Structure 1
């Protein structure tokens, strides 16, 4: 109510309105000089009308404009009119000519000022800075010009305290760095009593142990890695090979499982071939030989990460797991990089399911391009097609179950068709 009762005379008036009233009063005194106001009167009235229609000013008053005097010639004419009052009144014709020249000159000066402050939107022949303004604003910082199709796969789990989404990218970068430390050499050359076939038999048995004890897949993969890295340092006899395998599963279970099996369980599955003291002694030997550094990168963890990048279904992921688990028995694949092996298994599974190729998101998070994976993908398809170890069928029988979508029964791709698909993608 206080605002509605405020006298209207207290509202701020436009500066142009004050100038107009001053000119009209002085024009009434000078007589012929009143004609000087007429050329500017329509422009001043138009600016005053626009100012009154401003809705952003308080009480509907005009909005202040610092450049108001530059846009119009009102202020300069006010100075000119003051000088004309003290000067002698010229004859009407000469006065008109003088005023016309003064107005024209003022308009020219104001036009130059407005041109400097507000350049024309589209100059006909620009002499300076020939690059258009739009092209100057288009370049973006390098980080914004990265692959636009890459998505943040961890943002959906930022609120989950068990997902560690805030640190997931750094964790897998750290695992990629540790891969270099745990690359396996060709250790079978120095093993006089153990061969690649014996290692395949041991891994086949370890798969059955993992399935019978219902252990995590990470436990199986880590146990196989422990066996390989131990045999790199120690020359062993074949009668100790099963002891090494069972002890490796025990150590991996303590590292990965919430409730690992006890020592007596491993003695039982070995058919009491070893004593309790022998199992504990082998555990100490493996840990001391590996300097207790058993956080070894395994392909299974990378596979889960890459499948998340591809938004793969559980069936597609299971097919990739089957391909990856088949390589555990093959000594030739033991020396492959775990991340590269996981990426190749997933790419082959996606190709077999006709789900597209290697996306920019997969390339970004895996660090491998599709061309980097093509040779290993072909080797995996060859392994799946010709099945070099028919008698060691623990992995195939495991993944032939309905729980695993019977992915072991999937028909392998034709090698020529696979070559064409990889080349075209």
Structure 2
């Protein structure tokens, strides 16, 4: 009767299972050993057992730590006169003479075992430990400045509250943002419009305004928008293009930024659709390759949005205050004269303007510690932001204002602008 798959055959009470004799067992073991020692077929991976060969388990004797040895067994240790000290040799002679007369006492066996145990640290452990103790650095030697971790004062430690949150990286948060500030030196920009005979600042502002609508319609992260604008500026500073290709550059940088930031980025067809099929798939892919090659595939550009969230945490700013600073920062993307400003400095200026507007004080020592900027460093950028907010909004550039007038953004566009005298007083104080 055939056996059912998955079930083991059970022997009935009356059935007898024949036993193999010793010769048959040895032949079977030899056959298994010969089969195992045969060379594997060509191309097969090399076998590797995790512990021991199961088929030879009955022939292996394991010596586990802490297990007492039987009294009838003796361990023979090969020693030479050159490696064993004179004291150990005397003890070994004493133990051998006792064993010749009969069985050694328990105390003498324990003494001989202790001497064997003392031999191993002298050969393997004792010398390296002594070297490690002697290898302490001289008193005058110090770590280099770039490897030395600066202590954070307790009153300035804004990451202590997140000590249990691994995703916030509390031990390295300040070092991460200090590194991002250092990377800003690599991505400094200047006015590139003289190198673009077919473009002007108004065309760039229209493109950024359109990218804001794309980010809102696709529900993309704000980091994606900022990174796309940064990549557009860096590409335009190195590659002259015609005005008819400007929208293709913007949509392609948004595609690249989506791949870099988003969990589920839009596909190529989506960006072709928002361009009203003005470009083909081949043109967009070719532009993507051109942008990445021009930027040397280094697209991890520090953006002001990340710095703004970090610096707002220093003063425990509320969500409406942070959103007001984000509103100022997003409006600044369309300003050509604010484009060369570092992202960390621009974020600090937007936060300072928001704090003064909400009457929450000026630039505090904790902000100066984490940003590295004083009020005098931020004053020119703050005054430029203030002039930007005083200027009437153009009809073609209302995407940012329409976006931040919703309740989800606390309707920050309706917040009245601070008086200029109050702003200047805040900028004059240190």
2:323 is aligned with 1:344: no
State yes or no: 1:302 paired with 2:304.
Answer: no
Q: Secondary structure at the match of 2:186?
A: coil
- Tell me how far apart the structure 1 counterparts of residues 406 and 259 of structure 2 sit (CA, whole Å): 28
Is the CA contact (8 Å cut-off) linking 1:203 and 1:328 kept in structure 2?
A: yes
CA-to-aligned-CA distance 1:177-236 (integer Å, 9 cap, x gap) = 110110102211110001100000000000000000000000000000000000011000
Question: Which 5+ residue runs of structure 2 have no aligned equivalent?
Answer: 1-150
How much does 1:422 deviate?
2.8
Task: Give the whole-Å Cα distance in 2 for the aligned partners of 1:325 and 1:150.
Answer: 31
Question: In structure 1, what is the Cα distance between the partners aligned to 2:197 and 2:250?
Answer: 18
User: Is 2:259–2:265's contact at 8 Å kept on the other side of the alignment?
Assistant: yes
Answering whether residue 384 of structure 2 is matched by residue 409 of structure 1, we say no
CA contact (8 A) 1:303 1:343 kept: yes
Distance 1:167 1:332 in 2: 34
Deviation at 1:389, TM superposition (A): 3.3
Quick one: distance in 1 between partners of 2:358 and 2:295? 40
Match of 2:404 among 399, 406, 409: 399
- Classify 1:421/1:360 alpha carbon distance in 2 versus 1 (closer, same or farther; 3 Å): closer
- C-alpha distance in 2 between matches for 1:274 and 1:303: 36
Structure 1 residue 173, shift from structure 2 partner: 0.9
Compare CA radii of gyration and give the structure with the larger one.
1
How high is the TM-score relative to the length of structure 2? Answer: 0.63
Following superposition, the deviation at residue 424 of structure 1 comes to 4.4
Task: Give the aligned partner of residue 270 of structure 1.
Answer: 275
Query: Which residue of the partner structure matches residue 380 of structure 1?
Result: 385
Describe the shift of the 1:410–1:201 C-alpha distance in structure 2 as closer, same or farther (beyond 3 A): same
CA distance in 2, matches of 1:147, 1:285: 44
Q: How far did 1:387 drift? A: 3.3
Does 1:232 find its partner at 2:237? yes
Which residue does 1:283 correspond to in 2? 288
CA distance in 2, matches of 1:311, 1:390: 36
State the 1:149 CA deviation.
7.7
* SS of residue in 1 equivalent to 2:234: helix
C-alpha distance in 2, partners of 1:170/1:279? 38
Q: TM-score, normalising length from structure 1?
A: 0.64
Aligned to 2:127: none
1:357 equivalenced with 2:343 (yes/no): no
Name the CA distance, whole Å, in 1 between partners of 2:321 and 2:345: 18
Aligned residues: 281
Q: Matched residues in 2 for 1:213 and 1:286: separation?
A: 22
2:213 matched residue in structure 1:
208
Within 5 Å, give how 1:46-85 maps onto structure 2.
Answer: none
Preserved contact between residue 206 and residue 396 of structure 2 (Cα < 8 Å): no
Distance 1:391 1:413 in 2: 26
Q: Conserved in 1, the CA contact under 8 Å of 2:375 and 2:429?
A: no
Structure with greater helix share of residues? 1
Q: Deviation per CA, 1:311-369, whole angstroms, max 9, x where unpaired?
A: 10000000000000000011111100110000000000000000011111110000001
Q: Is the 8 A contact 2:212 2:225 kept in 1?
A: yes
8 A Cα contact 2:156 2:369, kept in partner: no
Q: How big is the shift at 1:392?
A: 0.5
Whole-Å separation in 2 of the counterparts to 1:387 and 1:359: 32
Of 330, 337, 347 in structure 2, the residue corresponding to residue 325 of structure 1 is 330
Distance 1:421 1:168 in 2: 29
Provide the secondary structure at the position in 2 that maps to 1:185: coil
- Counterpart secondary structure, 1:382: helix
How far apart, CA to CA, are the structure 1 residues paired with 2:181 and 2:426?
29
Deviates more, 1:323-332 or 1:149-158: 149-158
Please name the residue that 1:418 is paired with. 423
> Aligned partners of 1:387 and 1:264: how far apart in 2?
37
